[in-house]
Amino acid sequence: MYRSPISCVVASVLGLTIVPVSGEPACRPKLTVTNVKFSEMIPPILERKWTAIVSVDASRCQPSSGGYFDIVITRLRENGPDLEFQERYAWQQPSVEIAVNFAANEAVQHFRVENISSCVCVK
C-alpha cells in the first residue's frame, strides 16, 4: 500500500509531541479557587478589583515546584458585549492571590482554571 509523504510527516510530528522530553513522569497540581470577591469602587478611576485565592495542592510534585495556569473569565458589561479573556499566573505552594481590575459597569459572570503546567512527580 502506498503512503503519501505528507501522512508520514504528520505521523512523525504527532509521535514526537507525545514523547516526554525529560523522560520523567509529569504530574499536575490540584488548584482550588476560594475567597472570590469584588472590592468597593476605587476612586477616582471608578474601578473594582476582583480577587481570589488559588490554593495549590502540589503534593504529587517535587518540593519547591512551580508553574503557570490561566484563569479564563467571562466578563459582563452593562452597555456592551460580554467578553471572554484569560490571564496567566504563576502557581506555587501553598497558595497564590490573583487580581483583575474591572470598570464600574463590568462584572464576572463565570471563571475557570485552564492550562495548568505540569511538574515532575515525586518518586
Instruction: Give the whole-angstrom CA distance, residue 73 versus residue 102.
Output: 11
Per-residue model confidence (pLDDT) at position 25: 67
Instruction: Give the whole-angstrom CA distance, residue 105 versus residue 83.
Output: 13
**Helix, strand and coil percent figures for the chain, each rounded to 5:** 10, 55, 35
| CATH code given to domain 24-120 | 2.60.40
Backbone angles phi, psi at 46, to 5 degrees: 55, 50
pTM metric for this prediction: 0.73
For residue 5, what is the enclosing H or E element?
A: helix 5-18
For residue 16, what is the enclosing H or E element?
A: helix 5-18
Note the pLDDT tens digit of each residue in 36-74.
Answer: 999 998 888 889 999 999 999 999 998 888 999 999 999
